[in-house]
Amino acid sequence: MSATVIPYDVKPHPLTGMYNGKFGIWLFLASEIMLFGALFSTYVLLRVGAPEGTWPIAGAATTRGDEILNVALAALNTAFLITSSVTMVLAWANLKMMNFKKGQTMLLVTVLLASAFLVVKYFEYNAKFHHYAVTFNEHFEHEGVESNTFTATTPAGTTKTIHYLHGHVESTKKNAEGVIESYEFLPDAEHGHGDAATHKAVEIPASEIARITNYGPGGSTFLGCYFVITGLHGLHIIGGIVVMLYFLATGSKMWKTQPDKYANRIECTGLYWHFVDLVWIFLFPVLYLL
């Protein structure tokens, strides 16, 4: 019906060997590499410049991400994503073999695996937001719980002694105006934060606290990197799910008239999806293992 017929919309161009959409998606992925590349560069630069003892979080025993991240859940998610890449290829391959039903089924499996990834991610994020780091104005000791200390060297070369505890906030006490007066705090037993024998909650008056923060983005620069990179990756996963759901819902209409074009669309979706997986393949070792 349209007056304009765009050349190489479905057929590959003899020079590039690609139809327009495939060429376009490759260019888009090039720009995506620059986007994630900038974020990974940020990670490298901040890690290299981090004062000793502050990476991934103040007082950590090693500089590896697994000090505070859950490697088991991330490994599970890696399995989900790699499997979803396989099902994605199967979706496209089946459509190429004119097997629409099986192709759509594989696409649905991909969506389910992607959703499973997000569910696991939700539990990971949630745990971070309920885990706290407290730094004290000076050495803290109460009911047998003692703050840990470490000495950080600032970029200017001066040293600063930091008294801290990591753990969970069980409850808070507020005064009449709603300002928090004290925290019921359960220190972590692992990593030497607190003593395993006296692992019980302790009351910390707010006046003793210099800073209290959860393991959210503001917890440390490492956690900032973690949340921005995985968050942006998560948005890409959601974007992929939206696109795949759209094709699941509307695919049969296009399939009836232009099966080649539909298979091409799934191929482009697949290229994007493999890229999203690939980002995770980089992200997993960099953030969790190194």
Which residues of this chain interact with other proteins, rule CB under 8 A?
A: 2-8, 13, 15-16, 18, 20-21, 23-24, 27-28, 30-32, 34-39, 42, 45-46, 49-51, 54-55, 58, 154-155, 211, 213, 216-221, 223-225, 227-228, 232
Q: How far is the CB of 32 from other proteins (least distance, A)?
A: 7
Q: Using the minimum distance from each CB to other proteins, give the nearer residue, 23 or 100.
A: 23
Number of helices (H) and strands (E) in the chain: give both, helices first.
5, 8
237, 62 in Cβ contact below 8 A?
Answer: no
Q: Which is nearer to other proteins, 28 or 100 (CB)?
A: 28
Select 106 or 133, whichever has its Cβ closest to other proteins.
Answer: 133
- Nearest residue (CB) to other proteins, 49 versus 144: 49
The least distance separating other proteins from the CB of residue 120, rounded to whole angstroms, comes to 22
Residues in the chain: 290
Q: How far apart are the first and last CA of the chain?
A: 56
CB neighbourhood size of 233 (10 A):
21
Structural contact between residues 76 and 119, judged by C-beta atoms closer than 8 angstroms: no
Residue 134 to residue 212: CA distance in whole angstroms:
4
Is 43:229 a contact under the CB 8 Å cutoff? yes
Q: Nearest approach, Cβ of 73 to other proteins (angstroms)?
A: 22
- C-alpha span between 148 and 238 (Å, rounded): 41
| Shortest separation between residue 3's beta carbon and other proteins, angstroms | 4
Query: Could you tell me the smallest distance in angstroms from the CB atom of residue 14 to other proteins?
Result: 10
- Nearer to other proteins by C-beta: 25 or 266? 25
